[in-house]
């Protein structure tokens, strides 16, 4: 794929030579989500690609494309017949890794599952969890408040979403949260593809055992019972056991792997921008809008994959049937065609058009709970710890692939 065939306008900034000099590789023809340079230069790369490179290609493994502009990402996400989820969302998927239902399926299977799962994570249902989440925020802060310092990710950011989801929605013991968080993290970011498969296998095995145990218990009328009841597919068959397990894995993955990054990034931003911290302290009503802006600017989901079912043209690039295509939600949320100065954080920005929770039928089922977690966390943190800063030498560390994760952030007050 050359610059002329990629859909990128001929531009001195997008020649292979210019890209290699600036980014260390040819982003247009040889992009790599797992490149350490992408992790280091994350913001610069996103801002550049959405402006200059509507479609880029990767030669890594079996290869894949990235679609980067908001209009093209939205169009592809809504066109599930051409951009199918049924062959997974992960590029160069480890061999033998089961597909995650319903995320890695198309209608009508996807529709059947979402119809029964959605009520358990509706706005009204999640509102019923709000006080419990606020209590958990206080309980976690209590553990380090008097110390005057914390490692935010391990002591708060990675725990609160798991507590909220496991205790309120799944009823899974939080004592096992650390193992599941590690399994999801290593299953996503390990550079060893075999290790990714092993870690995901551990998560599958644990949740398979939990689901089997729940099947022997009295019904609670909760999400687990809905999963156990299953659905009837269009051909009249009942959903098999392995689909039920993968539903639970998918929900667990989403429940503990994404909100942490937005939360950690928001706290870090406020710790390093005292003027914006003071803005929220003076007017807490801005927190709701701030959360949307932080979700836009700090996307935990960099890109999710689809497989083309026919030849299709996107922004001047012809993508053949059977190719793997990543919808770059992170780029789409910074599209200057849809907002002013998208590379800046504006807590008062109106009508924030982000794609952080996805687009179309596969839009994130947990977005309502995520917003409650983020709101409760910011409000609770600012009430208890209104003045805080990054500890010297404690700047955040990151890891990036098709997801982005903050690994550490040391704070003091």
Residues (pLDDT < 50) of the chain are: 3-4
Mean of all residue pLDDT scores within the chain: 91
Q: How many angstroms separate the CA atoms of 13 and 274, rounded?
A: 35
Number of alpha helices (DSSP H) and beta strands (DSSP E) in the chain: 18, 12
Q: Using an 8 Å Cβ cutoff, are 396 and 406 in contact?
A: yes
Q: Which is nearest to 153 in space by CA: 74, 73, 46, 257? A: 257
pLDDT digits (tens, 9 = 90+) for 314-323: 999 999 999 9
What's the full length of the chain, in residues? 413
DSSP bridge partners of 404:
400
pLDDT for 9: 66
pLDDT for 177: 75
Other CB atoms within 10 A of residue 3 CB:
18
pLDDT for 237: 95
Tokens 């529709």 -> residue? 111
pTM: 0.92
CATH of domain 12-412: 1.10.630.10
pLDDT for 350: 85
Ranges assigned E (strand) in 128-179 = 149-151
pLDDT for 4: 44
Q: How many angstroms separate the CA atoms of 99 and 91, rounded?
A: 13
Ranges assigned E (strand) in 228-316 = 304-308, 312-314
Q: Dig out the tokens for 108 from the structure.
A: 């009508």
Q: Using an 8 Å Cβ cutoff, are 333 and 74 in contact?
A: no
pLDDT for 175: 79
Q: Using an 8 Å Cβ cutoff, are 283 and 290 in contact?
A: no
Q: Using an 8 Å Cβ cutoff, are 352 and 333 in contact?
A: no
User: Residue 403: phi, psi to the nearest 5?
Assistant: -115, 165
Ranges assigned E (strand) in 147-261 = 149-151
CA 171, 364, 129, 248: dihedral to nearest 10 degrees? Answer: -10
Residue 341 burial class via C-beta count within 10 angstroms: exposed 0-12, middle 13-18, buried 19 and up? exposed
């Amino acid at each position: 794929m050359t610059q002329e065939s990629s859909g990128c306008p001929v531009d001195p900034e997008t020649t292979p030579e210019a890209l290699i000099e600036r980014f260390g590789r040819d982003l247009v023809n040889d992009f790599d989500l797992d490149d350490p340079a992408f992790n280091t230069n994350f913001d610069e790369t996103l801002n550049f690609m959405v402006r200059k490179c509507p479609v880029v290609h990767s030669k890594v493994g079996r290869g894949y494309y990235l679609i980067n502009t908001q209009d093209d990402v939205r169009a592809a996400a809504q066109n599930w017949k051409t951009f199918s989820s049924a062959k997974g969302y992960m590029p160069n998927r480890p061999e033998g890794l089961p597909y995650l239902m319903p995320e890695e399926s198309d209608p009508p299977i996807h529709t059947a599952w979402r119809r029964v799962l959605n009520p358990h994570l509706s706005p009204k249902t999640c509102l019923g969890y709000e006080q419990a989440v606020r209590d958990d925020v206080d309980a976690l802060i209590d553990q380090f408040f008097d110390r005057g310092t914390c490692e935010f990710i391990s002591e708060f950011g990675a725990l609160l979403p798991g507590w909220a989801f496991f205790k309120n929605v799944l009823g899974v013991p939080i004592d096992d949260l650390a193992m599941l968080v590690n399994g999801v993290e290593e299953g996503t970011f390990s550079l060893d593809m075999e290790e990714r498969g092993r870690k995901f296998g551990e998560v599958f095995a644990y949740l398979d055992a939990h689901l089997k145990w729940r099947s022997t218990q009295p019904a609670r009328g909760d999400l687990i019972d809905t999963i156990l009841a299953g659905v009837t597919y269009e051909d009249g068959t009942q959903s098999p056991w392995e689909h039920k397990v993968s539903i639970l894995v998918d929900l667990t993955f989403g429940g503990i792997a994404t909100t942490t990054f937005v939360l950690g990034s928001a706290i870090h931003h406020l710790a390093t921008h005292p003027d914006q911290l003071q803005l929220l302290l003076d007017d807490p009503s801005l927190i709701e809008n701030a959360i949307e802006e932080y979700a836009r600017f700090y996307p935990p989901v960099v890109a999710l994959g689809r497989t083309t079912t026919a030849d299709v043209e996107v922004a001047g690039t012809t993508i053949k049937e059977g190719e793997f295509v990543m919808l770059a939600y992170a780029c789409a949320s910074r599209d200057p065609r849809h907002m002013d100065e998208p590379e800046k954080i504006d807590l008062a920005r109106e009508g924030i058009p982000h794609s952080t929770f996805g687009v179309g039928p596969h839009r994130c089922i947990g977005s309502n709970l995520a917003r409650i977690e983020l709101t409760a966390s910011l409000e609770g943190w600012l009430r208890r710890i209104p003045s805080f800063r990054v500890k010297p030498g404690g700047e955040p560390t990151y890891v990036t692939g098709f997801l982005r994760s903050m690994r550490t952030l040391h704070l003091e007050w």
